[in-house]
Amino acid sequence: MEKRLIKIKCFAGLRKFFGSETTVLVEQDSNYAKVIEALQLLNPEVTEILSSCRIAVNEDFVQLSETIKQEDILFLIPPSSGG
Amino acid sequence: MKHLQNANISYSEIFDEFRHPSSGAVVLFSGEVRNNNKGREVTHLEYEAYEPMANKMIEEILVEAKSRFKLNQAECVHRLGKVEISGCAVVVVTGAGHRKEAYDANRYIIDKVKNEVPIWKHEFFADGTSEWGQNCDCVTDEHEHSHHQEKAE
């Protein structure tokens, strides 16, 4: 199946592992969870952290079970620690 | 951005302007930087955010809280960048007819901002190390414990 390149913006502690931006290749009809899995393969050291991350698109959170739409940039959101 | 700023937060200025003829109670919460955390000496914090989303989410939390608690006014401003000890990291001000709504709403807003908004704290310690923080001080019953902590180099 054809694959597509997805850009991912990273924040906070995740930048140490992936930089501010990284890319993964996923199959065309993948859901967002596949992006997390691809990142885990890229760096198994962060598997646990990634499992507590959410993904945002256009400034809204998406469900990991949803199929990735046409967007090319995802935002990887680790657990909040403001305040 | 309206709810995020790199400059010091002047909460006295926000408070002074927080007057409403229908408000009998105004509550101000200031989250300030402690010089210690879990037994370690903290020198300062740095905050980072996914700024457009964080600003939007804080606005949405305020709009929802105003409706839920019948507030006349609500404001929240969070710092970004370096904040020294005793500096204000976040301020929440709520104004309502009576104190119960003002207190309850204030607590509701700060808990939501801390737990949900994409803002991250980087703690710097006196021993030269630093860690990306987590908000696991368990102040809310419904708080989900899905945190991580990473040592920075």
Name the residue among A13, A60, A80 with its Cβ closest to that of B119. A80
- Domain assignment present for residue A20? The answer is yes
Contacts of B49 in chain A (CB under 8 A): 82
Determine the pLDDT at residue A82: 95
* B145 vs B87, higher pLDDT: B87
- Structural domains of chain A, count: 1
- The model's pLDDT over B89-107, given as tens digits with 9 standing for 90+, comes to 999 999 999 999 999 999 9
- Domain assignment present for residue A83? The answer is no
Residue A13's Cβ-count burial label (10 Å; 0-12, 13-18, 19+) is buried
Size of interface A-B (CB pairs under 8 A): 84
Contacts of B110 in chain A (CB under 8 A): 83
- Domain assignment present for residue A60? The answer is yes
Look at B152 and A81 and tell me if their CB atoms are within 8 Å: no
Q: What is the CATH number of the domain that holds A71?
A: 3.10.20.30
Q: Return the CATH fold of B4-128.
A: Aldehyde Oxidoreductase; domain 3 (3.90.1170)
- The model's pLDDT over A21-61, given as tens digits with 9 standing for 90+, comes to 999 999 999 999 999 999 999 999 999 999 999 999 999 99
Q: CA nearest B86: which of B123, B31, B28, B7?
A: B31
Q: Is the pLDDT of residue B9 over 60?
A: yes
The domain in which residue A51 lies consists of: 3-77
Q: Which residues pair with A17 in a beta bridge?
A: none
Name the residue among B122, B132, B135 with its Cβ closest to that of A83. B135
Look at B89 and A77 and tell me if their CB atoms are within 8 Å: no
Name the residue among A56, A81, A83 with its Cβ closest to that of B132. A81
